[in-house]
Amino acid sequence: MARPARPGSSRDTFVEFAATRDPQLREQLVEAHLGLAHQLARRFGHRGESHDDLVQVASLALINAVDRFDPDRGFEFSTFATRTVLGELKRHFRDKGWAVRAPRRVQELYLELGSAADALAQELGHPPTVGELAERTGATEEAVLEALEAGQGYRATSIDAPDRQEGTIASRLGADDAGFVGADDHQVLVDALQTLPERDRVILQLRFVDGLTQSQIADRIGVSQMHVSRLLAASVARLRESFLVEP
């Protein structure tokens, strides 16, 4: 059983624990700072993970911080623990939250864009543009586009998760798909594709059939990601017009 905490003795306890590695002192220090772990876990509560999972990650990081803290270096434990716990929480999202793996720099920028977009929307009164996000985060517009594109693979939604229609994906499996109504337009789409330049058809194939990101397509065909984005938009618009033309 842990020793009762003594008010104002945390630093002395750390000094004693560093010298003895007494497991009871370790437990006492962890319990005394669990509130910090819970507080830091709540910062990430809007990112789709359960609170219990986040608290578990934060608590394990807190234990690690207690074990590694050196009271002789002159730092406050709260400062050291905060850095350790936040680092572990961010690593948790970076390593566990991606259904499709993306480079670490892209993952980190995507997570940063979430908070930047919320802040800018409140400041500007409208959803921020790519340029505004780039300016706020210090990234290029192409990097922002790449991160947003890769973010589509972030935490693939569970089929049991509620959606915007107050149902779940699972509840609609096997139901009539409204998309079947447009099945007769398949030949129109095939004919419209044939009117596109070969490179545009290849880009559409890579993006919507093979599932490559715009950045991967850009590397594959030797152009910038921004150019790929423009080509995709133009091709999709042209195909859409084909469906709007009266027979």
Predicted confidence (pLDDT) per residue in 111-164, tens digit: 788 778 878 888 888 888 888 888 999 989 888 887 777 666 555 444 444 444
CB 239 within 8 A of CB 192: yes
CB 228 within 8 A of CB 217: yes
Instruction: Locate 69 and state its tokens.
Output: 């803290």
Predicted confidence (pLDDT) per residue in 177-230, tens digit: 444 444 444 455 566 677 788 888 888 888 777 777 888 888 888 888 888 888
DSSP one-letter code for 166 = S
Domains and CATH numbers, the chain: 10-96 (1.20.120.1810), 104-153 (1.10.10.10), 184-244 (1.10.10.10)
Q: What is the pLDDT of residue 206?
A: 81
> Residue 115 carries which side chain, given as an amino acid letter?
S
SS3 of residue 168 by DSSP: strand
